[in-house]
Chains A and B, each alone.
Chain A
Amino acid sequence: MAKVPVQFTLNGSEKAEFIDSGTTLLNALRDKIGDTSPKGGCHQGTCGACSVIIDGELRLSCLTLAETCNGAAITTTSGLAEGGVLHPLQRAFLDTFATQCGFCTPGMIMAAKVLLDHTPNPSRDEVVEALSGNICRCTGYEPIIQAVLTAARANSQNAA
């Protein structure tokens, strides 16, 4: 299988790799680049565990081919903390017990980040809609919704 070059920005740093053509972004991130924060859940586009942000848009890395991301800016949950200080969403997920087994959490946080980037003070319905492509089998969702609303409040207090 011919190798193809891919080059993109991951969490602010340049990455370049040779991969097998047709490799999904999820596999490239996890197996080649070593960012294991996006999880492989269903590989069908149903569970949202592999969600990443590509050029500001939420995408499923399990259904995206890595070579279609050349030149893109990709954000994953592992890039959110700065200097050991958790991102407000990560802090809120911990504080509201929104994570149990943790497998869905990075995808949930990506979906929530895109929401808060565009809608800093979302309604509960907007949070539910934003997380609707992400499945959690542990928490019953309520703590996750609360975590996103808590992070939004923390952001607006910091901005004030």
Chain B
Amino acid sequence: MALALQTFPTVKDANAALKAAGTRYLGGGTLVVRAANEGDVSVSGLVMSTDPALSAIAAAGGKVRIGASVTMAAIARHPDLGPLAKAARAVGGPAIRNMATVGGNLFAPAPYGDFAVALLALDAAVGTEDGELPIETFLARRDGSRSIVTSVSFTLPKADGFRFLKVSRVKPKGVSVLSIAAVLEQAADGTVSSARIALGCMADRPMRAKAAEKALKGKKLDQNGIAAALAAATEGIAPITDPIASAWYRAEVLPIHLGRLLLA
């Protein structure tokens, strides 16, 4: 079934059109056209905006603002976004990365949405016409979201302060068994002064490993120092089961991969 596409130069007009029942916003097409191709009859119309601000990347003074239509490929090759390149390259194959957008990734259900895991660890702010929301709040409410995401903003981590890992069975491109992103700050003596750890595939959307974060504070990143964090890693998780892995398997291997990420 063909879908009527409406294109608007401004986000404001696109938001107004998106109020009609059955409409979805068209970003790169990797979620919404896929849904239509699969026969999702709840999608009856598509809306998109060509506002150039949606495709802009602004990085200055350690602050980054990425327009919602920016693709994974554009992030991976941007000279100022080096620390994020690995997370952007974790999404799909080359063609998908040329299409999949930052905004879309925030809505991708597990096992997809690896870049959103990185954004959660970075404590990004998600922008819409109504203002900015902390990503954690945004993700919790995303199912009811009807306002077009325009940007994500965050403080660029130091290259060695941001860690990302995606585990997949097929390499180099495979669907996630799990993904983990961590923003770690260490004091001069090597102890962890702050930690934000985000997990993918451990719920239907990216989630924080808050117990592990707490257990890591004041500890050194060595085998003994991370033990309590690894023991707490599975607290509060409800992993997905899909053809890639069962919930049981995902929960079993999470502490192992978190350990590898923290000791890397």
| A111 B38 Cβ-Cβ under 8 A | no
- Write out the residue numbers on chain B whose beta carbons fall within 8 Å of the beta carbon of A23: 2
| A63 B34 Cβ-Cβ under 8 A | yes
- Per-position contact with A for B60-96: 1 when CB-CB < 8 Å, else 0? 0000000000000100000000000000000011111
In the complex, what residue of chain A is closest to B3 when comparing beta carbons? Answer: A22
In the complex, what residue of chain A is closest to B36 when comparing beta carbons? Answer: A22
A interface residues, how many (CB within 8 angstroms): 31
In the complex, what residue of chain A is closest to B39 when comparing beta carbons? Answer: A43
Partner of A22, one of B5, B94, B96: B5
- Write out the residue numbers on chain A whose beta carbons fall within 8 Å of the beta carbon of B223: none
Q: Is B33 an interface residue (CB 8 A)?
A: yes
- Write out the residue numbers on chain B whose beta carbons fall within 8 Å of the beta carbon of A62: 33, 37
- Write out the residue numbers on chain A whose beta carbons fall within 8 Å of the beta carbon of B229: none
Query: Which parts of A24-40 form the interface with B (CB within 8 Å)?
Result: 24
Partner of A58, one of B2, B4, B94, B172: B94
Q: Is A134 an interface residue (CB 8 A)?
A: yes
| B95 A60 Cβ-Cβ under 8 A | yes
| A133 B173 Cβ-Cβ under 8 A | yes
Query: Which parts of B15-52 form the interface with A (CB within 8 Å)?
Result: 26, 28-30, 33-34, 36-38, 46, 48
Q: Is B98 an interface residue (CB 8 A)?
A: yes
Stretch at the interface among A9-17, A81-89, A124-132, A151-159: A124-132
Q: Is A142 an interface residue (CB 8 A)?
A: no
How far apart are the CA atoms of A51 and B26 in the complex, in Å? 19
| A65 B33 Cβ-Cβ under 8 A | yes
| B4 A44 Cβ-Cβ under 8 A | no
Nearest CB in chain B: distance from A67 CB, A:
6
In the complex, what residue of chain A is closest to B32 when comparing beta carbons? Answer: A63
Residues of B within 8 A of A (CB): 1-5, 26, 28-30, 33-34, 36-38, 46, 48, 73, 92-96, 98-99, 172-173
Residues of A within 8 A of B (CB): 1-2, 4, 20-24, 43-45, 48, 51, 57-60, 62-65, 67-68, 111, 114, 128-130, 132-134
